[in-house]
Amino acid sequence: YVDDILLACTNLTMLHDCKNFLSKNFEMTDLAEASYVLGIYISKDRKNGVLGLSQKSYIEKVLKRFNMQNCTGSDIPISKGDKLSTEQAPKTEQEKLEMVDKPYASLVGSLMYAH
């Protein structure tokens, strides 16, 4: 039993042939062009031949879960050559309190494969 299947092809004839084959051999419902699948938003720019995938809603949920919905983004989390040290760790009670609800390893694990 297959719940969902996503077909993508640059050749429309081949795509229609595949859909016809599947519908002749299996009970199937064609839900037309997908814009969202498995939590991933699909964007299409046919003019420029670009297909984009985004997990923005997932990332927003993760940031909210870690109370970081107002953080600022960066292309890279750390620049090449940057040195990390204990001097950058929270020192005051206020700084430590601000980090209590930000379990770093869990946050990084939640975002590691998101795009």
- How confident is the prediction along the chain (115 residues), in pLDDT tens digits per residue? 667 888 988 899 999 999 999 999 999 888 888 998 888 999 999 899 898 999 999 989 988 988 888 988 777 777 788 888 888 889 999 999 988 877 888 888 888 877 7
Residue 15: per-residue pLDDT = 94
SS3 62: helix
* Kind and range of the H or E run holding 54: strand 50-54
The predicted pLDDT at position 1 comes to 64
What pLDDT does residue 39 have? Answer: 85
Q: What is the pTM of this model?
A: 0.57
pLDDT for res 13: 96
Instruction: Name every residue whose Cβ is closer than 8 Å to that of residue 80 and which is 6 or more positions away in sequence.
Output: none
Residues 80 and 62: their CA atoms lie apart, in Å, by: 26
Residue 53 pairs in a beta bridge with: 42
Nearest by Cα to 63 from 111, 112, 100, 95: 111
Q: Where are the domains of the chain?
A: 12-54, 56-72+83-111
